Amino acid sequence: MPKNYRAELVGVLGSPVAENPTGAMQEAAFAALGLNWRYLTIEVKPEDLGRAIEGVRAMGFAGLNLTIPHKVAVIPYLDALSREAEMIGAVNTVRRDGERLIGENTDGRGFLRALKEDAGLDPAGKTVVLLGAGGAARAIATELILAGVSKLTVVNRSDLRGRELVHDLQSRTGAAIEFVPWPEPCYTVTADADVLVNATSVGLYPAVEAMPQVDLHTAGKHLIVCDAVFNPAETMLLNHAKAFGLRTLDGLSMLVYQGVIGFEIWTGRKAPEKVMKEALSRELS
């Protein structure tokens, strides 16, 4: 019987995208399971996104990841959205269903899984402070609301963007969410907060000495401080939290679980989580 040399194709579209490490993680997973799949890291300018999606359809890609600046812009080019993606208003993962391309969002689910499995915290009934109002914040906030948090406070420097996020999520979910403009010189985390999440890009490589301006002096000892920044895994914020004796959750866990969920959506196989985390850790070390 002749050998089949045809590989299943997936990949990430973004601009810039050269430093995105997802491919190393997914390729390691494919190799571990002996799958003839390839993950391509593809630079696509905003003005070329429509043609790129046409190409993805024509070449029979099994799926995609989307990163900046395509997570919202891709939606008109897709055939349908999952419930989460529709509520979030952004797509970071696409799966093929026959001839149709279906938009998903694994950002929030990746964070939620990391919070439950790596930090051992079920957010139901908890009080959460979320820093930021961008795409990552939107996805994380949506999943936290669906998970049943009792109180969600969004803190953002742009008053307009923060209020727009809160209004949008309230209209989509019916949840009660509070917006607080980021005060100067810093935001003080109160003792009733159970979880603090940095969903901004502050602290991301190469600006590794930066951290969100928060005051943890009045925080309760039960607080878990989470950072969506994955490069570096040990951010200044997490080091600051550890100095107060607080538990932390790094962005590496969130990124791995995003990848795990995407792998399973595309292949229908259980992802080799340990292999994927080790591969990503090597890339970011």
Query: Which residues are part of the catalytic machinery?
Result: 71
Residues contacting residue 3 through CB under 8 Å, at least 6 positions apart: none
User: CA-CA distance, 149 to 204, in Å (whole number)?
Assistant: 27
Which residues make beta-bridge pairs with 97?
Answer: 100
- Crossing angle between the packed helical segments 107-117 and 251-267, to the nearest 10 degrees: 120
User: CA-CA distance, 46 to 237, in Å (whole number)?
Assistant: 32
Buried b / exposed e over 225-236, threshold 16 CB at 10 Å, is bbbbbbbbbebb
Strand, helix or coil for residue 180: strand
Instruction: State both tokens at 124.
Output: 């139901």
Ramachandran assignment for 197, one of left (phi > 0), alpha (psi -120 to 50 degrees), beta (any other): beta
Q: Is 283 exposed, middle or buried (0-12, 13-18, 19+ CB in 10 A)?
A: middle
Instruction: State both tokens at 201.
Output: 């890009």
Q: Of the candidates 119, 115, 97, which has an alpha carbon nearest to the alpha carbon of residue 107? A: 115
Distances, alpha carbon 131 to alpha carbons 39, 195, 256, in Å: 32, 11, 21
